[in-house]
Amino acid sequence: MSKETILKEAIEAVKKCKEEEAVDVMNRAIAEGLDPVEVLSEGFSVGIREVGDLFSRGQVFLPELMLAAEVMKSVSAIVDEEMQKSGKDADKKGVMVLATVEGDVHDIGKGIVASIIKTQGIDVIDLGRDVPADTIVAKAEELGADIIGSSALLTTTMGEQKKIEEILEAKGLKGKMKTIVGGAPVTERFAKRIGADAYAEDAAEGVEKVLALLA
């Protein structure tokens, strides 16, 4: 079977949220000697980006996006296993620390963002929810992160995103680590006002903005 056919099948499996089908496609690709990282980036990742675009336009809904993200987790796990077997690691484009800020316990959207961004070859460390700003920055320092992503789902917790910028400034890390903010009440205007490097309205835009920051 040709590489083009495999990639088309990979894209369709994600768009249709067919986990078993996706796993089968990836296993067949590996059996036929194709590079699993290429199949992930040129096939499955294209599919999840298309699902993200459809979600942002209101043509698919949150359950479908979550199912597609689960499909991506399964095929990504196969790729990771193959890389370990071969003694190689997938080329990482960068390291990102992601968290929902202190006082906020909603993290379903952040989880989807983390899953999708991981498929783009970015090492994402998800710190979870209700995480203090100083903890987020300290972890980013420890890991040598390129990007800090923060989510606030309540207007009362948006101030924590500003606090991240202030801590980075105080530590002389502003500009060395890029920041991206998101969440239901967060806006582009707010992001600019607090000094964040980027704002993302949804998962699809988040991927684009993170790749742009790394570039």
List the domain boundaries for the chain: 3-85, 94-214
Contact criterion met (CB below 8 Å) for 75 and 126? no
Give me the percent of the chain exceeding a pLDDT of 70: 95
CB neighbour list of residue 76: distance below 8 Å, 6 or more residues apart: 40, 118, 119
CA distance 41 to 91: 11
Same fold, 3-85 and 94-214: no
pLDDT at position 78 over 80:
yes
Q: Which fold has domain 3-85?
A: 1.10.1240
What was the pLDDT predicted at 53? 82
- Show the tokens assigned to 116: 């999708």
202, pLDDT greater than 80:
no
CA distance to 31, 35, 104, per residue, from 24 (Å): 10, 15, 38
Query: How far does Cα 209 stand from its chain's mean position?
Result: 10
Going by the DSSP 8-state scheme, the letter that residue 181 receives in this structure is E
Q: Helix, strand, coil: what percent of the chain each, to 5?
A: 60, 15, 25
Residue 168 near residue 179 (C-beta atoms within 8 A):
yes
Average pLDDT score over residue span 23-43: 92
**Long-range CB contact pairs, 54-63, < 8 A, 24+:** 55/202, 55/203, 55/204, 56/201, 56/202, 56/204, 56/205, 62/108
94-214 is classed CATH 3.40.50.280: yes
43 touches 6 (CB < 8 A)? yes
H or E element: which one contains 28?
Answer: helix 19-31
Instruction: List strands edge to edge, sheet with 122-126.
Output: 122-126, 94-100, 147-151, 178-182, 198-199
Quote the percentage of the chain above a pLDDT of 90: 58
Answer whether residue 91 shows pLDDT above 70.
no
Residue with the larger pLDDT of the pair 49 and 26: 26
Q: For residue 152, is it left (φ>0), alpha (ψ between -120 and 50) or beta? A: beta
Q: What is the pLDDT of residues 108-156, one digit of tens each?
A: 668 777 877 877 778 999 999 999 999 999 999 999 999 999 999 889 9
Residues with Cβ < 8 Å from 37, sequence gap 6 or more? 79, 83, 90, 91, 121
